[in-house]
A and B are shown apart, each in its own frame.
Chain A
Amino acid sequence: MAKLIMTADDSASVRQMVAFTLKQNGYDVVEAVDGKDALNKLNVQKVDMLLTDLNMPNMDGIGLIKGVRAGALNKFIPIVMLTTESQDSRKAEGKAAGATGWIVKPFKPEQLIAVVKKVLG
Chain B
Amino acid sequence: MEQAIATYKEEAGELLAELETSLLELEETPEDNDLINRVFRAMHTIKGSGAMFGFDEIATFTHEVETVFDMVRNGKMTVTKRLLDLTLKSRDHIAYLLGCPIGEEVDRSPGDEIISGLRQLVPQLEMPQKGSTEVPAINLPGLSEEELSNECTWRIRFRPLPNILICGTNPISLINELRELGTAHVVAQFDEIPQIDELVAENCYIYWDIILTTSRGEDAIKDVFIFVEDDCDIKIELIDKSGLIDRDEGYKKLGDILVERGDLSPVEMQKVLMLQKRFGELLVEQGIVSPEKVQSALVEQQHVKGVRKERGEAPQAEAAASIRVPAERLDQLINLVGEMVTVQAHLTQVSMAGGDPTFIAISEEVERLTNELRDTALNIRMLPIGSTFSKFKRLVRDLSSELGKEIDMETFGGDTELDKTVIEKLNDPLVHIIRNSIDHGIEMPEARKAAGKPSNGTVYLGAEHSGDSVLITIRDNGGGLDRDTIRAKAIEKGLISATAEISDREIYAQIFAPGFSTAAKVTSVSGRGVGMDVVKRGIDGLRGSISVDSVRGTGTTITLKIPLTLAIIDSLLVKIGKDHFVLPLAAIEECVELTREDIKNSHGRNLANVRGVIIPYIPLRQHFLITDQRPEIEQIVIADIHGTKVGFVVDHVVGEHQTVIKSLGKMYRDVRGVSGATILGDGTVALILDMGVLLQSVEELENAGV
A and B touch in the complex (CB under 8 A): yes
* A84–B329 CA distance with the chains assembled, in angstroms: 60
Contact of A77 with B by CB under 8 A: yes
* A104–B231 CA distance with the chains assembled, in angstroms: 20
* Of A11, A79, A86, the contact of B49 (CB 8 Å cutoff): A11
**Which segment of B134-142, B340-348, B492-500, B585-593 sits at the interface?**
B134-142
* A114–B227 CA distance with the chains assembled, in angstroms: 13
Residue in B closest to A14 when the chains form the complex, CB atoms: B49
Contact B135 A106 (CB under 8 A): yes
In the complex, how many angstroms separate the beta carbon of A106 from the nearest chain B beta carbon?
Answer: 3
Q: Which residues of A contact B140 (CB under 8 A)?
A: 111, 114-115, 118
In the complex, how many angstroms separate the beta carbon of B144 from the nearest chain A beta carbon?
Answer: 11
Contact of A69 with B by CB under 8 A: yes
Contact of A73 with B by CB under 8 A: no
Contact A101 B48 (CB under 8 A): no
Question: A17-B1, A86-B70 are contacts. A69–B166 as well, Cβ < 8 Å?
Answer: yes
**Which segment of B3-11, B238-246, B258-266 sits at the interface?**
B3-11
Contact of A90 with B by CB under 8 A: no
Q: Which residues of B contact A76 (CB under 8 A)?
A: 165-166, 168, 202
Contact A100 B169 (CB under 8 A): yes
Contact B168 A78 (CB under 8 A): yes
Q: Which residues of B contact A86 (CB under 8 A)?
A: 44, 70
Contact B170 A121 (CB under 8 A): yes
* Of A17, A55, A110, the contact of B52 (CB 8 Å cutoff): A17
* A107–B105 CA distance with the chains assembled, in angstroms: 23
Question: A13-B8, A106-B51, A107-B52 are contacts. A95–B230 as well, Cβ < 8 Å?
Answer: yes
Q: Which residues of B contact A118 (CB under 8 A)?
A: 140-141, 173, 177, 227
In the complex, how many angstroms separate the beta carbon of B43 from the nearest chain A beta carbon?
Answer: 11
Count of chain B residues near A, Cβ 8 A: 44
* A77–B169 CA distance with the chains assembled, in angstroms: 8
Residue in A closest to B133 when the chains form the complex, CB atoms: A106
Contact of A93 with B by CB under 8 A: no
In the complex, how many angstroms separate the beta carbon of B69 from the nearest chain A beta carbon?
Answer: 11
* Of B1, B10, B226, the contact of A20 (CB 8 Å cutoff): B1
Contact of B45 with A by CB under 8 A: yes
Interface size class for chain A? 35 or more
Contact B44 A84 (CB under 8 A): yes
Contact A13 B166 (CB under 8 A): no
Question: A75-B166, A78-B168, A102-B227 are contacts. A115–B4 as well, Cβ < 8 Å?
Answer: no
Which residues A46-105 have CB closer than 8 A to chain B?
Answer: 49, 55, 69, 75-79, 84-86, 95, 98-105
* A17–B53 CA distance with the chains assembled, in angstroms: 8
* A16–B137 CA distance with the chains assembled, in angstroms: 21
* A106–B55 CA distance with the chains assembled, in angstroms: 11
Contact of B453 with A by CB under 8 A: no
Q: Determine which residue in B4, B8, B51, B165 has the highest number of CB atoms from chain A within 10 A of its CB, and name it.
A: B4
* Of B50, B138, B202, the contact of A115 (CB 8 Å cutoff): B138
Question: A14-B49, A86-B70, A106-B49 are contacts. A119–B169 as well, Cβ < 8 Å?
Answer: yes
In the complex, how many angstroms separate the beta carbon of B410 from the nearest chain A beta carbon?
Answer: 14
Question: A11-B11, A106-B59 are contacts. A98–B135 as well, Cβ < 8 Å?
Answer: no
Contact A13 B49 (CB under 8 A): yes
Q: Which residues of B contact A101 (CB under 8 A)?
A: 169, 226-227
Contact of B172 with A by CB under 8 A: yes
* A87–B582 CA distance with the chains assembled, in angstroms: 81
Q: Which residues of A contact B4 (CB under 8 A)?
A: 13, 16-17, 20
* A77–B3 CA distance with the chains assembled, in angstroms: 29
Q: Which residues of A contact B3 (CB under 8 A)?
A: 16, 20
* A110–B231 CA distance with the chains assembled, in angstroms: 26
Q: Which residues of B contact A20 (CB under 8 A)?
A: 1, 3-4
Question: A17-B4, A115-B140 are contacts. A100–B11 as well, Cβ < 8 Å?
Answer: no
Q: Give a binary string over A4-32; 1 marks a CB under 8 Å from any B CB, 0 the rest.
A: 00000001111011001000000000000
Contact of B41 with A by CB under 8 A: yes
Question: A16-B7, A107-B52 are contacts. A119–B1 as well, Cβ < 8 Å?
Answer: no
* A68–B306 CA distance with the chains assembled, in angstroms: 46
In the complex, how many angstroms separate the beta carbon of B15 from the nearest chain A beta carbon?
Answer: 9
* A79–B165 CA distance with the chains assembled, in angstroms: 12
Q: Which residues of A contact B321 (CB under 8 A)?
A: none
Contact of B466 with A by CB under 8 A: no
Residue in A closest to B52 when the chains form the complex, CB atoms: A106
Q: Give a binary string over A32-46; 1 marks a CB under 8 Å from any B CB, 0 the rest.
A: 000000000000000
In the complex, how many angstroms separate the beta carbon of B4 from the nearest chain A beta carbon?
Answer: 4
* Of A11, A102, A104, A121, the contact of B45 (CB 8 Å cutoff): A11
* A111–B4 CA distance with the chains assembled, in angstroms: 18
In the complex, how many angstroms separate the beta carbon of B17 from the nearest chain A beta carbon?
Answer: 15
Contact of B143 with A by CB under 8 A: yes
* A111–B70 CA distance with the chains assembled, in angstroms: 27
* A71–B72 CA distance with the chains assembled, in angstroms: 39
Q: Which residues of A contact B41 (CB under 8 A)?
A: 55
Contact of B167 with A by CB under 8 A: yes
Contact of B176 with A by CB under 8 A: yes
Q: Which residues of A contact B176 (CB under 8 A)?
A: 121
Q: Determine which residue in A20, A49, A104, A105 has the highest number of CB atoms from chain B within 10 A of its CB, and name it.
A: A105
Q: Which residues of B contact A111 (CB under 8 A)?
A: 137-138, 140, 143
* A67–B202 CA distance with the chains assembled, in angstroms: 17
Which residues B143-171 have CB closer than 8 A to chain A?
Answer: 143, 165-170
Contact A12 B7 (CB under 8 A): yes
* A79–B202 CA distance with the chains assembled, in angstroms: 17
Q: Which residues of A contact B5 (CB under 8 A)?
A: 13
* A77–B165 CA distance with the chains assembled, in angstroms: 9
Contact B52 A78 (CB under 8 A): no
Residue in A closest to B143 when the chains form the complex, CB atoms: A114
In the complex, how many angstroms separate the beta carbon of A115 from the nearest chain B beta carbon?
Answer: 7
Q: Give a binary string over B103-141; 1 marks a CB under 8 Å from any A CB, 0 the rest.
A: 000000000000000000000000000000101111011
Contact B137 A119 (CB under 8 A): no
Contact B48 A79 (CB under 8 A): no
In the complex, how many angstroms separate the beta carbon of B62 from the nearest chain A beta carbon?
Answer: 12
Q: Which residues of A contact B226 (CB under 8 A)?
A: 101
Contact A77 B168 (CB under 8 A): yes
Q: Which residues of A contact B168 (CB under 8 A)?
A: 49, 76-79, 98-100, 119
* Of B7, B8, B133, B169, the contact of A78 (CB 8 Å cutoff): B169
Q: Which residues of A contact B174 (CB under 8 A)?
A: 121
Q: Which residues of B contact A95 (CB under 8 A)?
A: 167, 230-231
Q: Which residues of B contact A100 (CB under 8 A)?
A: 167-169, 227
**18 contacting pairs across A/B (C-beta < 8 A):** A12-B11, A13-B4, A13-B49, A14-B52, A16-B4, A55-B41, A76-B166, A77-B168, A85-B135, A95-B231, A98-B167, A98-B168, A100-B227, A110-B143, A111-B137, A114-B141, A119-B227, A121-B176
The interface of chain A, by Cβ under 8 A from chain B, is 11-14, 16-17, 20, 49, 55, 69, 75-79, 84-86, 95, 98-108, 110-111, 114-115, 118-121
Q: A16-B4, A16-B7, A84-B135 are in contact. List 9 more A-B contacts (CB 8 A).
A: A11-B8, A13-B7, A78-B169, A95-B230, A95-B231, A100-B168, A111-B137, A118-B140, A118-B173
7 tightest Cβ-Cβ pairs between the two chains A and B: A121-B173, A106-B51, A13-B8, A101-B227, A100-B168, A16-B4, A78-B168
